[in-house]
Amino acid sequence: MTKPANLGSSPMVSRDSGGSLVEQIVRSVACRIDDKLLRTGSRMPSIRQFADEQKVSRFTVVEAYDRLVANGYLESRRGSGFFVRERASLLNNLSPVTQPLPTSQQPDVVWLIRNMFRQLPPQKMPGSGLLPHEWLDGELVANGLRSISRLNQNLLLHYGTQQGFLPLRQQLQLKLAELEIAASPEQIVTTNGVTQALDLVASEFTQPGDTIFVDDPAWFLMFGTFATLGAKVIGIPRLHDGPDVAKLAELAALHKPKLYIIHSVLHNPTSTSLSAAKAFQVLKTAEQHDFMIVEDDVYCDMHPGSAVQPATRLAALDQLNRVIYLGGFSKTLAANLRVGFIATSHQNAIRFSDRKMLSTLTTNEICERVVHKILSEGHYRKHVDRIRSKLDTARHEVTSRVEKMGMQVEYRTPAGMFLWVETGTDTIALTEKALEKGILIAPGSLFSPHQLPSTHMRINVAAMGDEGVWKFLENELR
């Protein structure tokens, strides 16, 4: 057997320096290997010997050696000990060929969405669709995770149930009942956010070549989703109280759509809500031309109630016959949890649930348990109350400053996180300039179902706290 490698006489650990003893050993050994002080292939001291020399417990050495193996620094050979491995060569000798990628010159949907996920500082993202961290309650989510980690561990190991975690669906039944929408847990299917919900519904209800109606403007990501399904997307002009219903009827007669995707309350990007009269007309048109309505209510919990802005849900009128209702918690809890849901007829629920199974098997029950815990413990209501009240202040301040700059806020709604702003200039050009300065703007053409040029942009009132962003806008839009 070869002589073990010489680690030098200096101690590797110190009770005073940072990190656990295991971490200190891992760091020291890894550095010595990276610096070639330990030769590839040489044998490490035995666990016992290392422990004695460094005056640490054997358990500590076992832990440290295990981590070094997991990170490619050591190799464990059964019965003969641990050997130094050339980590750099493990990775580098296999040199992957990465071609340079064509970069899109013109901002398009995919371009903007990719930028949405770039690690820009959140205060530099007035175009973001999320609330800033400090508006949310990380402690709620962290507490949820901690309490799930203390459950019977068997619950963590296996698949979730096909339709989603039952107690969460029961809690959603209550939430829906308060909106006057009757849905038993069997009528609810959980999804990986509203994005998956839209994908499942559109996959199930359309064939390539079919037409899907959306609002114009509308949430841009779904244009891409529907395009991958081969569907034709047509926009219905959105007014202050809902869609242009005359146009809706005219286009429905012409295009025979299969689906109409609509935000009834706090429409993205205009923050408008549907009046009761418009809601009724939309349903009548859907019946007449026999299309389904997908009511995306992801901004539900930001809505201040019918005393402030209309709050008619299409599903409350129709009771999930022709309306498929979508909701989620990405906006008010944490986008990272990826918990959304579909409420629909029992038969549709089975169809969506089977399709979910075929595309992603089950959704993540761990995160569904976290959301269930947060909803059932009652802190959620106060949390969204606080968000709404902060939004009111921010909307007021941002509106007045935007208007002082000479821009026009369309609709001036009394609720929601978005302002739909007429800038008087092409906002794609503005977006390109902003990105050079590390600022993310959401230009109007992205929200156009046909990406038409636009002088509008969407502003997130919660993300306008940065003077640099204001300066940029003032400079460009003078």
User: Residue 422 pairs with which residues in a beta bridge?
Assistant: 408, 456
Q: Which stretch binds its own copies (CB under 8 A): 27-35, 91-99, 287-295, 438-446?
A: 91-99
Peptide bond into 237 cis (omega under 30): no
CA distance 459 to 457: 6
Site for its own copies in 370-429 (CB under 8 A): 375-382
Residue 40 touching its own copies (CB under 8 A): no
Please tell me whether residue 354 binds its own copies under the rule CB under 8 A: yes
User: Is the Cβ of residue 144 or residue 269 nearer to its own copies in the bound state?
Assistant: 144
Kindly tell me which of 380 and 418 has the beta carbon lying closer to its own copies.
380
218-256 per-residue burial string, b: 16 or more CB within 10 A, e: under 16? bbbbbbebbeeeebbbbbbebbebbbbbeebbebbeebe
- Which residues on adjacent β-strands are paired with residue 340? 191, 328
Is residue 113 within 8 Å of 220, Cβ to Cβ?
Answer: yes
Q: Is 91 in the site for its own copies (CB under 8 A)?
A: yes
Tell me whether the omega of the peptide bond preceding residue 443 falls within 30 degrees of 0, making it cis: no
Is residue 365 close enough to count as binding its own copies by CB under 8 A?
Answer: yes
Least gap, CB of 153 to its own copies (angstroms): 2
CB-nearer residue toward its own copies: 24 or 195: 195
Task: Specify the residue, 174 or 429, whose C-beta has the smaller distance to its own copies.
Answer: 174
Q: Are 371 and 329 in contact (CB under 8 A)?
A: yes
Strands (E), 245-322: 259-262, 292-296
Figure out which of the listed residues 24, 270, 363, 454 binds its own copies, where binding follows CB under 8 A.
363
Query: Which of these ranges, 52-60, 145-153, 412-420, 431-439, lies near its own copies under the rule CB under 8 A?
Result: 145-153
**H-run or E-run covering 232:** strand 232-239
Helix axes 109-116, 221-228, angle to 10 degrees: 120
Q: Which stretch binds its own copies (CB under 8 A): 114-122, 307-315, 417-425, 442-450?
A: 114-122
- CB-CB contact of 39 with 5 (8 Å): yes
Least CB distance to its own copies at residue 184 (A): 5
Judged by CB under 8 A, the chain residues 122 through 141 that form the site for its own copies are 122, 130, 133, 136, 138-139, 141
Q: What span, in angstroms and rounded, lies between the C-alpha atoms of 447 and 458?
A: 9
Distance of closest approach, residue 254 Cβ to its own copies, in angstroms: 26
Q: Considering the rule CB under 8 A, would residue 57 count as an interface residue with its own copies?
A: no
Among 42, 51, 66, 232, binds its own copies (CB under 8 A): 66
Gap between the Cα atoms of 47 and 316, Å rounded: 67
In 3-state terms, what secondary structure has residue 410? strand
Q: Is 305 helix (H, G, I), strand (E, B) or coil?
A: coil
When asked if residue 326 is in the footprint of its own copies (CB under 8 A), the reply is: no
216: left (phi over 0), alpha (psi -120 to 50) or beta: beta
H helix runs in 361-463, sequence order: 365-376, 379-404, 427-436
Write each residue from 223 to 242 as x if it is in contact with its own copies (CB under 8 A), else as -, in one continuous string. Answer: -xx--x--------------
Residue 1 as a binder of its own copies (CB under 8 A): the answer is no
**Element (DSSP H or E) covering residue 474:** helix 467-477
Binding flags for its own copies, 69-88, as an x/- string (CB under 8 A): xxxx---x------------
Nearer to its own copies, 43 or 379 (CB): 379
Task: Say whether residue 101 binds its own copies (CB under 8 A).
Answer: yes
Does 105 bind its own copies (CB under 8 A)? Our answer is: no
Contact call for residue 359 and its own copies (CB under 8 A): yes
Q: Which stretch binds its own copies (CB under 8 A): 43-51, 153-161, 259-267, 391-399?
A: 153-161
- Residue 48 tokens read as 């016992």
Site string for its own copies, 197-216 (x = CB under 8 A): --x---x----x--------
Residues 272-311 close enough to bind its own copies by CB under 8 A:
none
Q: Cβ closer to its own copies: 75 or 403? A: 75
Could you say whether residue 95 binds its own copies (CB under 8 A)? yes
Nearest Cα to Cα of residue 400 among 392, 391, 409: 409
Please tell me what DSSP assigns to residue 306: T
Name residues contacting its own copies, limited to 159-198 (CB under 8 A).
159-162, 171, 173-174, 177-178, 180-184, 186-187, 192-193, 195-196
Cβ atoms of 204 and 181 closer than 8 Å: no
Among 33, 56, 231, 334, binds its own copies (CB under 8 A): 334
Q: Which is nearer to its own copies, 35 or 139 (CB)?
A: 139
